[in-house]
Amino acid sequence: MRKEMNTQEILQRHGKGADELLGLLHELQDAHERHYLPPESLGAAAEHMGLPASEVYGVASFYTMFSLKPRGRYIVRVCQSPPCHLLGSTDVSRELVKELGVQLGETTADGMFTLEMSSCLGVCGVAPAMMINDEVYGNLTVARIGEIIDEKRSAT
Amino acid sequence: MNMSNSTVQLHIDGHQVEVAAGTTILDAAKQAGVQVPTLCHHQNLSPTASCGVCIVEIEGSPALKRACCTPVEPGQKITTNSQQLRGLRKSLVELILSNHAVECPTCASNGKCELQDLANSMGVEFDRFEKVVDKRPNDTTSVSISREPNKCIACGRCVTVCNEIQTVNAITMSDRGFDVAVGTFFNEGLGNSSCVNCGQCTVFCPTGALRERSETDSVWNAILDPKKVVVVQEAPAIRVSLAEEFGLDMGEVTVGKMYAALKRLGFDYVFDTNFTADLTILEEGTELIDRVKTGGKLPLITSCSPGWIKFMETYFPDFGEYTSTCKSPQQMFGALVKTYFAKERGIDPADVVSVSIMPCTAKKFEARRPEMRDSGFQDVDYVLTTRELVRMIKEARLDFKNLPEESATDIMGAYTGAATIFGATGGVMEAAIRSAYYLLVGQSLANLDVKIVRGMEGIKEGTLSIPSKELGTLDVKVAVAHGLGNARKLLDKVRRQIAETGKSEYAFIEIMACPGGCVGGGGQPYGCTIADRARRGEGLYREDAGMAKRQSHENPEVARIYKEFLTSPGSEKSHQLLHTCYWERSIQSGSCLELKTHKHAASHAH
């Protein structure tokens, strides 16, 4: 689904100036195989935008949606909104911790998965829900977790 | 809001006051004689409104307002002190303290700390909240400045001065919430950033989270080592910055006491950087006249300020060839002490430990530049800031105020009034004008006070008419900028002029990295305001006015060193010891990319 583009192509799609920065950072992060913003990406963004590198770093470190550390090829985001919570999202995340062998916010040693919590994914009708990269998984049960993760493991 | 009125009337703690529209509650309160407590606010910086200590009550408004950033409105009734406000302010300070490494006895800003002062005056309870101090590592990547994040209260002053006043943009607020911190790009440290070492962040820091990299231990070790010959030089600004630290009036010049204190600390030879300030004028004046005569690169830009030099190398590398090739007075001195002086006194230069006292943190960086080893050794071994010298004087328990005055060593110790004003913005320009005029016209200016380049205006400029016998009447346009934001503005203009017409309207430009010039340097006492800097500068102009010799070329010791050692200004020997070259640097990391100018490549044809 995600368009793979190189940094230069992405930069060329954006004008200069602070108001373009967030969109640019999103695209740079999405384009990175490890879903994060390394110093090279932020440095290139700063240079392209004509902004100080320190300022771009300040922005990227402020927003939780940006990561400055390498993440897994698959980012698993478990919805932590109240409807999902009521329908068992804590069990889901507990099962994910067990299945992946990492705590929330961590990445598996093989670089495959990062486990995160997310604010409302907007699919309360199928709560509890999670996303893996751009794909939504609803009506989750503890039993399904191993199956979904295995499917991702074998897809690579 | 009443837009037609340019003034606003209101009541603050029952006092009626009329202030200009747009005035903040904090400033309006001052006009009413009411001091609202503040912490993050600084009178010379735009407010960050981060601490909340200046909260006030406004009648009819349910919300408390921060006085530092809230403009007054007509008819307001404002209360700055109440049970509620006292309690809240106290809690705020207690919360800040719970997240602050309280190390007052050993802290660089002990006695000057604004948090300490506030806590003490409010009678806060130290242990009311659980202590939460993350052990974040100190940033010791810079040779000039160290940062202790555990003392940082995230007031944002350092970020404001770095980004708004200096436009260096080395630091930023990173992360959010409880994790908020001041940092560089990816926290790689000041030494690996675009930081130019000016140290303005340290001067504005309210809590001592920023300080100079102290070298006092190394200097004490040298002094107490009987095998070492320890020599010291002091920048012009030092003589006018010690008084205020030892119970004398701000702006008082204490040159004799300064020499006396240094001798009592144990320095073997006490010289004066003012000597090489005079020497700089002869070298740089010769360079200027040379460039004018031979159609060299103009404007010539001064090179005394190492913060400016690194800024130029980072942001304006194309100005490398416009910048004077002269080393700063500190480095000229260093190169001469281990050559001329050592030879003169029959001392092995390997035994000489060369110390300088500077109002500046960037001088620590400058002394360690690889180019600054023309004596065959590191020319200047240790650089102490004013703050460090003050600590040494206190450690030695010297009664500075009552010290009998002494003099500097005769050789390399004499100076003129032109040298002493190097410490104030416009001073180098004025000194250069005095001597250049004399060299071109054959007589001195009728009035040596060149007032157009004095004062605290950010960018000053003027035109001088010089009736040169050889070149006809020259109309020389000069400009002076202090504070790197002003330097940036001026150089953007010059760059535009050169791009559009091939030349700039200016022939000579003085740039000092710090607002006010060296008297406002990053190594000066904590907490100095722009007004304090102006008063120190006035002190230097008073010293100059009272001196018999006020032109650098009149310095007899300068004449002697040319006769005995350097031959003449701009000579081969001068170029070897007193001139330097410049790099282009990475904006992201500050590291050297490419040599932009070459040593000994000056246009001078001697």
Mean pLDDT of B184-207: 97
- Compute the distance between CA of residue B375 and CA of residue B355 in angstroms, rounded to an integer: 15
- Compute the distance between CA of residue B311 and CA of residue B484 in angstroms, rounded to an integer: 8
| DSSP-derived secondary structure for B500-529 | HHSS-S-SEEEEESSTTSGGG-TTSPTT--
Evaluate whether B459 touches B470 at the Cβ level (below 8 Å). Answer: no
Q: Give this prediction's pTM.
A: 0.93
Mean pLDDT of B97-106: 94
B316 and B200 belong to one structural domain? no
- Compute the distance between CA of residue B400 and CA of residue B414 in angstroms, rounded to an integer: 22
B135 touches chain A (CB under 8 A): no
Beta-carbon count within 10 A of B61 CB: 13
Q: How does pLDDT run across B293-313, given as a tens digit for each residue?
A: 999 999 999 999 999 999 999
Evaluate whether B279 touches B559 at the Cβ level (below 8 Å). Answer: no
Mean per-residue pLDDT of chain B: 95
Give all strands (DSSP E) within B469-578, no chain letters: 472-482, 508-512
B441 and B515 belong to one structural domain? yes
Residue A128 preceded by cis peptide, ω within 30: yes
Closest of B240, B221, B198, B592 to residue B386, by C-alpha: B240
The closest CB to that of A57, out of B163, B176, B186, belongs to: B186
B280 and B336 belong to one structural domain? yes
- Compute the distance between CA of residue B56 and CA of residue B79 in angstroms, rounded to an integer: 6
B120 and B169 belong to one structural domain? yes
**What residues contact residue B298 under an 8 Å CB cut-off, 6+ apart?**
B291, B292, B322, B503, B504, B506, B507, B508
Judging contacts by C-beta atoms under 8 Å, the chain A residues touching residue B171 are 54
- Compute the distance between CA of residue B454 and CA of residue B430 in angstroms, rounded to an integer: 8
B169 touches chain A (CB under 8 A): yes
Mean pLDDT of B545-552: 98
Q: How far is CA A10 from CA A15, A26, A75, A106, B386, in A?
A: 11, 10, 22, 28, 50
Evaluate whether B297 touches B509 at the Cβ level (below 8 Å). Answer: no
Dihedral angle, C-alpha B454, B459, B460, B461, nearest 10 °: 150
- Write the single-letter amino acid at B467: P
Evaluate whether A112 touches A62 at the Cβ level (below 8 Å). Answer: no
B99 and B205 belong to one structural domain? yes
B586 touches chain A (CB under 8 A): no
Evaluate whether B411 touches B344 at the Cβ level (below 8 Å). Answer: yes
pLDDT at B443 over 90: yes
Task: Provide the number of structural domains found in chain B.
Answer: 3
B440 and B314 belong to one structural domain? yes
CATH number for B111: 3.30.70.20
Helix axes B255-265, B386-395, angle to 10 degrees: 60
The answer to whether residue B602 is domain-embedded is no
Residue at a domain's end among B185, B212, B239: B212
Evaluate whether B166 touches B314 at the Cβ level (below 8 Å). Answer: no
Q: Please, what are the domains in chain A?
A: 7-62 (no CATH), 74-154 (3.40.30.10)
B58 and B187 belong to one structural domain? no
Which tokens belong to B229? 């010959």
pLDDT at A2 over 50: no
Beta bridge partners of B400: none
Q: In chain A, whose CA is at the least distance from the CA of B186?
A: A57
Helix axes B273-294, B427-441, angle to 10 degrees: 60
Q: How does pLDDT run across B108-148, given as a tens digit for each residue?
A: 999 999 999 999 999 898 788 999 887 889 999 999 999 99
**pLDDT at position B603:** 42
**What residues contact residue B546 under an 8 Å CB cut-off, 6+ apart?**
B417
- Compute the distance between CA of residue B246 and CA of residue B401 in angstroms, rounded to an integer: 6
Residue at a domain's end among B56, B81, B106: B81
A53 touches chain B (CB under 8 A): yes
B390 and B270 belong to one structural domain? yes
Closest of B56, B422, B482 to residue B273, by C-alpha: B422
- Compute the distance between CA of residue B508 and CA of residue B434 in angstroms, rounded to an integer: 13
Please state, for a pLDDT cut of 70, what percent of chain B lies above it.
98
Evaluate whether B189 touches B138 at the Cβ level (below 8 Å). Answer: no
A5 touches chain B (CB under 8 A): no
The answer to whether residue B54 is domain-embedded is yes
**pLDDT at position B602:** 44
- CB–CB contact A52 B175 (8 Å): no
Question: A137 to chain B, minimum CA–CA distance in Å?
Answer: 30
| DSSP-derived secondary structure for B7-21 | EEEEEETTEEEEEET
The closest CB to that of B186, out of A39, A62, A64, belongs to: A39
Where b means 16+ CB within 10 Å and e means fewer, B175-198 reads: eeeeebbbbbbbbbbbbbbbbbbb
Which tokens belong to B136? 């974040």
- Compute the distance between CA of residue A24 and CA of residue A43 in angstroms, rounded to an integer: 12
Closest of B246, B230, B516, B263 to residue B356, by C-alpha: B230
- Compute the distance between CA of residue B53 and CA of residue B65 in angstroms, rounded to an integer: 10
B68 and B193 belong to one structural domain? no
A52 touches chain B (CB under 8 A): yes
Q: How does pLDDT run across A5-29, given as a tens digit for each residue?
A: 688 999 999 988 888 999 999 999 9
The answer to whether residue B412 is domain-embedded is yes
CATH number for B362: 3.40.50.1780
- Tell me the residue range of the domain where B52 lies: 7-81
Judging contacts by C-beta atoms under 8 Å, the chain B residues touching residue A66 are none
Identify the sign of the CA torsion B425, B427, B430, B432.
negative
Residue B370 preceded by cis peptide, ω within 30: no
- Compute the distance between CA of residue B206 and CA of residue B152 in angstroms, rounded to an integer: 9
- CB–CB contact B588 A53 (8 Å): yes
Instruction: Tell me the catalytic residues of B.
Output: 284, 287, 304, 324, 363, 366, 371, 518
Residue at a domain's end among B212, B230, B258: B212
B421 and B304 belong to one structural domain? yes
Please state, for a pLDDT cut of 90, what percent of chain A lies above it.
87
Helix axes B306-315, B484-501, angle to 10 degrees: 50
B289 and B336 belong to one structural domain? yes
- Compute the distance between CA of residue B14 and CA of residue B8 in angstroms, rounded to an integer: 15
SS (H, E, C) B289-339: HHHHHHCCCCCEECCCCHHHHHHHHHHCHHHCCCECCECCHHHHHHHHHHH
The answer to whether residue B76 is domain-embedded is yes
- CB–CB contact A58 B163 (8 Å): no
Q: How far is CA B296 from CA A63, B494, B565, in A?
A: 51, 16, 27
pLDDT at B364 over 60: yes
Model confidence band, residue B5 (pLDDT cutoffs 50, 70, 90): low
- Compute the distance between CA of residue B107 and CA of residue B115 in angstroms, rounded to an integer: 12
B425 touches chain A (CB under 8 A): no
Please state, for a pLDDT cut of 90, what percent of chain B lies above it.
94
Q: How does pLDDT run across A92-129, given as a tens digit for each residue?
A: 999 999 999 999 999 999 999 999 999 899 999 999 99
**pLDDT at position B239:** 98
Q: Which residues 29-48 in chain A show a CB within 8 A of chain B?
A: 39, 42-43, 46
**pLDDT at position A106:** 94
The answer to whether residue B2 is domain-embedded is no
- CB–CB contact B172 A43 (8 Å): no
- CB–CB contact A55 B172 (8 Å): yes
- Compute the distance between CA of residue B155 and CA of residue B344 in angstroms, rounded to an integer: 53
B55-58 sheet: strands from edge to edge = B15-20, B7-12, B77-79, B55-58, B65-66
The answer to whether residue B87 is domain-embedded is no
- Compute the distance between CA of residue B28 and CA of residue B20 in angstroms, rounded to an integer: 9
- Compute the distance between CA of residue B499 and CA of residue B480 in angstroms, rounded to an integer: 21
- Compute the distance between CA of residue B11 and CA of residue B390 in angstroms, rounded to an integer: 44
Q: How does pLDDT run across B227-253, given as a tens digit for each residue?
A: 999 999 999 999 999 999 999 999 999
The answer to whether residue B604 is domain-embedded is no
CATH number for B20: 3.10.20.740
The closest CB to that of A43, out of B170, B171, B588, belongs to: B588
- Compute the distance between CA of residue B6 and CA of residue B2 in angstroms, rounded to an integer: 9
The closest CB to that of A58, out of B174, B193, B588, belongs to: B174
**pLDDT at position B410:** 85
The answer to whether residue B1 is domain-embedded is no
Beta bridge partners of B568: none
B185 and B223 belong to one structural domain? no
